Structure 1
Amino acid sequence: MTVNNYIKYLNSLNNANSSNENAIAESQISNPYYEKIRVDRNIGQYIIQKIKQSPNVVILTGHAGDGKTSLLYQILKSLDVLTGNSISKFQEVYSKQLNTTIFYVKDMSELNKEEQVNVLKRALDIKNQGGSSILVSNTGPLLEAFKGLEQTYPTGVSITEIEMNLLKLMDENKGDIGKVGKHDVLLINMARIDNVIVVPRLIRNLLAEELWIECSKCESKQKCPIYHNYLSVKENYANVEKFISSYYRWLYETDRRLTIRQILSQISYSITGNLTCDDIKNKSNRNILFNYHFFNLFFGYGGVTKNKDALQIRAIQELQNLQLDSKELPNDYSIFVREDFSFLTRTVREIIQPIWSHKMRGYTTLSSDLLKSEEARELRKAVRRAQILFGNHDEDSMSNMLNRLFSPVFSEYLKIRSKQLSLPEIREIKNKIVKALYTMFVGFPMNNSDEEVIYLPVNRKEMAQPVQLLLGKIETSSIYVKQNYITSVYDQEEGYYRLELRFENVDKFPISLMLLDYFNKVIKGAVSTKLNPSLSHGVDKLKSKLYQEYRFKGHQPESKILVHTVKGPKIITLEIYDKEIYVK
């Protein structure tokens, strides 16, 4: 039997078992397969250009798994200063390309506190000698190292100021030279970098044909789920990549960003299920292709059963929390009632249809019988997982599915990010937002006759009041929705279009996916909507600004009352004079 060592490498990239010796970048780099799958990031060229322009102290910080060490490797490899594929803990090297010395630190976490202070001092000092340095550190060790440096080599700057300087640079992440105490550094926070843009190239590299040659020659390939996963994904690559990228985009936009390591962990596990070539040789289970298929593994399932080990992979845990395979899909009726599996790709259809037919023989045609069976429910969920990843989707059906799975506005948001909208499209979005704002402030849906003004009354939360004291109003003609292109100094691929809500008297307000989804729920009549804390803060901030800027100015001798009638809103003016109330 042929053994493909690439399979062993893929198994080592996830944390679903204890044999993940390559699940950290430092171990990956020394593996010959790393060079085959790694994705060069444009931010590496940005850093090289900065070093070319002038001596620099570059600090790469962020969360564990954000690709800091991999980026260091990419830079050093590009500058041709590495011997083989190994990186020392810290080293001073000479670059002929740049005609300068470079001091690098692979990972501050590998050093004790004294060493951290020493290498930080060396990284800062080399700039004064005409060289540059690249220092990799997670946030915690970096803060402690700068504190230790100030305590060992005092410059008269307070520890608090140093902390504030670092945190400010991490938060802004502008790619400019900034001050930490009295030191000039170029700090790049990898935790603020969009990792989703890397996913298409990463999947392509993992499926590169040259890495699967041994599998194509193996005598066990007909029964090998790993090879079938490779073939299945290749057969439907565009749709598989679209869904995976969309899922990671959803997490990113809802404040659940994944690191590169977490993304790689899920995808590699979904290909192999941590099976080895020997496992496949010895397994004779007729359902092995189904149990270990990509559509099950990606969701953390072994067939129709959840795999507890897979839940160690955060991206799988997040996916199971969403319960996407429990949601009704457009082709459910065709598959479950008519038993028409033609929507699935050929490779997947040949695996799943016989299992469905065999299992369904044990049930009566009564829908109640099927609904009561746990096995039948789980099998339907497995078929949905197959629909999601291996359906023959066109652009419209993919958009429809994403809206059903994530949010009714998700496909619209992806379109907003990727291309410039037409004026009618912008106008339609504005109309929706105006209606949502009206309902948010007034508590009642907007009638067609109300489209020229949004009232700002005193309104109790979660309670529609037919009579309200009016504090101000916004003319809808003063509300604008603009689409602005946001660029990244690090990587042009990170550029995207962003919708912004603008008012004549208020600063622009970015429309995130969560805010767009919230507006849509308000329009649809959601009485109560559970908000993400950051979104809740943003909505409250927007309301506060609008009340502040658009309330009636100066002393008002009259009180305006907003009354909601069956014919629409009516404004009544009350004037109190000589202990009497006059109604206008």
Structure 2
Amino acid sequence: MLKTIEGLPPRINLIYPFGRLVKDEIWELEQEDVLTKNASGELSKKEVYGRAVRAGLIKEIDYTLRIDKHLLSELAKDIAIRYVPIQYQAGIFDSLGFDFELSVKEQQKTQFFRKQAIVSQNSPSAKTRVLSHMDHEKQNSFIAYLNSLHNVGASGANALAESQALNSYFGELYEPFPIVDQIYDFLIGDKDQIVILTGHAGDGKSTVALDLLKRLKQIPNNDILKTALNERESVTHPHDPLRSISIVKDMSELNADLRLQWLEESFSGTGSWLIVSNTGPLLNSLSKYAKNRHVPGNISSKILELLNLSYSEGDLKPHTLDLFEKNLLILNMTRLDNVALGARVFSRMVNHSGWAQCAGCPVISACPIALNRLALSESGSIGIVRVRWVYQLLNAYEQRLTLRQMIAHLAYSLTGGMSCSEAKQLVTDSALEGVDRGTDGLERIIFSEAFFGYQAGVPSSIGGNLRAVELVRRQVFGSPVSVDFERQLANNEGSCWMVLPEALKHIAQRWAERASEAAGTRWRFAQRRMLYLFGKPSVSGTTSASVFCDAFLQSPRLQDFDSWSIQGSMSLSPIEQRRLVKSCLRVLLEVFSGFSSGQFQADHDRLFLTLRRPDRAVVQPTQLVMANLPFDDFHLEYDASKRLPLLRYRDSTIALNLTLPLLDFIERRNSGDLGSELSEIHLAQLEWFRAELLRMNKGHMSMAEITLLKANITGEVYLRRYHLDSHHQTLELD
């Protein structure tokens, strides 16, 4: 406020409005009661500068203008038109960074207001005029907040935890991380201890630190902090006033010397510490500290081992090092299950109380954003679960998203990047009647299209800026599912087993008409995406809906995999488990031998490990069997910490992680899909399993018996056993 704006006469006293605006009830001035004023009520320029006095808009107006850039621009333009001479308007707006172009009509308004001298004793107060303007331009600030969570538009201010700490909407949106309670108990324990949270940017490290800071300060989760997070916060121990707990917001932002200094202070001083850091700076700083303290062993290797550990809820001991002066707990946030967490945040987003601001809006019944949200609400948990399935699929196929990327994706998908004012304008400008006034706008932003990176059936140009959209678009979700389903879709019979929300009735009818045309391919893709995310199975259509979702996701085992992950166990009967074991082993037999399972007898129940070229470049009709293992020696387990089923050999430590790609591969092979292939990384896991089985059984191999696996001219595979008579130097056929 005190800087001279280029373009204004240099002698204008900017201290005058700095103090006088308080009388207009839109402005707050620090230390107002102690500042010296002359008879006219003006402040002393020397005193204002000397005391470094600050001033600003009152909270109500300041908050609204910060989150609604459109309103800010319109209000600024209105003030300029009314009060600023034309020759200075462009200069002021350039200095403030606003795009300011006046139409002819607005220029005429400028002249009119200048002539009318509207500011008089009888005029409404400035506060009344500003709030009246704000009421006229009333927007749902929660929608502006959602749009600030992604970087599709110009505002991505609330994507970081530092901004969230000061935002009133964040508390209700926040879903606590499952590790927060354990870390809190660890920090307030009887001994001083240190916790380091590491991982990728956007994994939620700073958000966990914010949650813990609030708990330690006894600030309710829904309340905002009064000030921004400092680089280092110190809090009195809740049970011991002589002890403290320090929280370092992000050690990665510090220079190397300061990182080392704070590490030394944390280990050698009193009190517990929580330190947030990216992995690289963490390794460098801890290694240097360990070297200075002559800590034995390779500390970097030990830290890397901890970083690779999966987190088992409630068990922090495996993640703790006792090599330093204090116990050091290192948790890698990338090892946590953020898929379920992201889905719960989405549920909070859809059901947030911020949507109540839409009440009373004259266009709410046709508002595209409101209809989008209403459709998700009407579909209940269906949309939440199916969003989780997509994220589970990406995560399992080595395309993990951070929590920040998920939230940005979901916020964008909910609003389509559309602002409240844009939605109002679309409805107001529509020539249609009733709810139909919002159909065009809804078609632009409908959740089922925005989520998968499309807009009205074609790739969205703005959505592609999001990492999540980039990944889901690669999967080409929405492609044809099956002949029967496509026939139903063409005849508009999908509703017989899948019901869409009432809010989508009009757009569903429109898309069905377009999809029936010869050039309606993109609309059929859009229909399938809409049915997937919004379709609720009818009473008789549960099985059909499940089959459709499997085919849509191109993952026959995803629904089971997700269910096991949520439950922490496998919900299969003993018979179903044996069937799955058999399916796994028959596919392993194919991979290890190169023969298809159909070449073996139907009741075949043994796994052969043979000598075979690792590159699989040559067909080997005859192979030497190195081990012959009964199917009954294998069983299924579920590892809750890894959130994976395991195929374990006997009671040994040898177990194959049954990842989703491997389970899908097994399911497809068993259903006769010979075209499916595994990526190299998963083939390497199978080779490791094979090598471990051979290693464990090498002592059981008889040198007096040779077993060959052979395929005859018809392709049938059979065994040939030969006995070596070393005494007579003969080889006998069994």
| TM bin (shorter chain) | 0.7 to 0.9
Q: Which segment drifts farther, 315-324 or 283-292?
A: 283-292
Q: For 1:137-152, what aligned pairs fall within 5 Å after superposition?
A: 137-149=277-289
Q: Which segment drifts farther, 61-70 or 312-321?
A: 312-321
Residue of structure 2 equivalent to 1:481:
635
Give the gaps of 5 or more residues in structure 1: 364-369, 488-494
Residue of structure 1 equivalent to 2:597:
445
Give the gaps of 5 or more residues in structure 2: 1-136, 220-224, 431-438
Q: Is residue 43 of structure 1 aligned with residue 179 of structure 2?
A: yes
Equivalent residue letter for 1:508: A
Q: Which of these residues, 378, 402, 426, is aligned with residue 549 of structure 2?
A: 402
Report how far residue 263 of structure 1 moved: 0.9
Report how far residue 390 of structure 1 moved: 0.9
1:352-383 deviation per Cα after TM superposition (whole angstroms, max 9, x unaligned): 2342355368x4xxxxxx2xx3xx21111111
Measured in 2, the distance between the counterparts of 1:27 and 1:9 equals 11
1:175-226 deviation per Cα after TM superposition (whole angstroms, max 9, x unaligned): 2321466663111111111111213421222123521112132112233211
Measured in 2, the distance between the counterparts of 1:297 and 1:5 equals 21
Measured in 1, the distance between the counterparts of 2:198 and 2:449 equals 35
Residue of structure 2 equivalent to 1:573:
722
Q: 1:81 to 1:94 in 2, by over 3 A?
A: farther
Mapped contact 1:63–1:138 kept (Cα < 8 A): yes
Q: 1:332 to 1:216 in 2, by over 3 A?
A: farther
Task: Tell me the secondary structure at the aligned position of residue 303 of structure 2.
Answer: helix
Equivalent residue letter for 1:21: A
Measured in 1, the distance between the counterparts of 2:675 and 2:362 equals 59
Equivalent residue letter for 1:337: N
Measured in 2, the distance between the counterparts of 1:336 and 1:247 equals 26
Measured in 2, the distance between the counterparts of 1:421 and 1:328 equals 27
Residue of structure 2 equivalent to 1:336:
490
Task: Tell me the secondary structure at the aligned position of residue 407 of structure 1.
Answer: coil
Mapped contact 2:410–2:451 kept (Cα < 8 A): yes
Higher relative contact order (CA 8 A, sep 6+): 1
Q: What TM-score do you get using the length of structure 2 for normalisation? A: 0.70
Residue of structure 2 equivalent to 1:91:
233
Residue of structure 1 equivalent to 2:537:
393
Residue of structure 2 equivalent to 1:292:
445
Task: Tell me the secondary structure at the aligned position of residue 176 of structure 2.
Answer: coil
Residue of structure 2 equivalent to 1:420:
571
Q: 1:299 to 1:464 in 2, by over 3 A?
A: same
Aligned residues: 559
Measured in 2, the distance between the counterparts of 1:226 and 1:554 equals 69
Q: 1:398 to 1:524 in 2, by over 3 A?
A: closer
1:494-515 deviation per Cα after TM superposition (whole angstroms, max 9, x unaligned): x957343323666233322222
Measured in 2, the distance between the counterparts of 1:531 and 1:163 equals 33
Residue of structure 2 equivalent to 1:378:
522
Q: 1:271 to 1:574 in 2, by over 3 A?
A: same
Residue of structure 1 equivalent to 2:12:
none
Mapped contact 1:454–1:476 kept (Cα < 8 A): yes
Q: 1:581 to 1:514 in 2, by over 3 A?
A: same
Measured in 1, the distance between the counterparts of 2:305 and 2:143 equals 43
Q: Which of these residues, 454, 473, 492, is aligned with residue 320 of structure 1?
A: 473
1:509-564 deviation per Cα after TM superposition (whole angstroms, max 9, x unaligned): 33222222232344345556543343222111011122333458466245333333
Task: Tell me the secondary structure at the aligned position of residue 711 of structure 2.
Answer: strand
Mapped contact 1:473–1:551 kept (Cα < 8 A): no
Mapped contact 2:654–2:692 kept (Cα < 8 A): no
Report how far residue 73 of structure 1 moved: 1.0
Q: Is residue 350 of structure 1 aligned with residue 505 of structure 2?
A: yes
Task: Tell me the secondary structure at the aligned position of residue 221 of structure 1.
Answer: coil
Measured in 2, the distance between the counterparts of 1:545 and 1:302 equals 50
Residue of structure 1 equivalent to 2:649:
502
Q: For 1:495-534, what aligned pairs fall within 5 Å after superposition?
A: 498-503=645-650, 507-524=654-671, 529-534=676-681
Residue of structure 2 equivalent to 1:69:
206
Q: 1:392 to 1:420 in 2, by over 3 A?
A: closer
Equivalent residue letter for 2:559: S
1:78-114 deviation per Cα after TM superposition (whole angstroms, max 9, x unaligned): 1226653632111222133554311111112332333
Q: 1:520 to 1:199 in 2, by over 3 A?
A: same
Structure having the higher Rg: 2
Residue of structure 2 equivalent to 1:491:
none
Equivalent residue letter for 2:597: P
Measured in 2, the distance between the counterparts of 1:84 and 1:293 equals 37
Mapped contact 2:512–2:527 kept (Cα < 8 A): no
Equivalent residue letter for 1:90: R
Q: Is residue 267 of structure 1 aligned with residue 410 of structure 2?
A: yes
Report how far residue 385 of structure 1 moved: 0.9
Equivalent residue letter for 1:456: L
Q: For 1:445-464, what aligned pairs fall within 5 Å after superposition?
A: 445-446=597-598, 447-448=600-601, 450-460=603-613, 461=616, 464=619
The structure whose residues are more often strand, as a share, is 1
Mapped contact 1:161–1:181 kept (Cα < 8 A): no
Measured in 2, the distance between the counterparts of 1:570 and 1:207 equals 61
Measured in 2, the distance between the counterparts of 1:396 and 1:533 equals 34
Mapped contact 2:478–2:529 kept (Cα < 8 A): yes
Equivalent residue letter for 2:231: K
Mapped contact 2:394–2:400 kept (Cα < 8 A): yes
Percent of aligned pairs with the same amino acid: 24
Measured in 1, the distance between the counterparts of 2:278 and 2:166 equals 21
Q: 1:449 to 1:123 in 2, by over 3 A?
A: same
Q: Is residue 60 of structure 1 aligned with residue 187 of structure 2?
A: no
Equivalent residue letter for 1:563: K
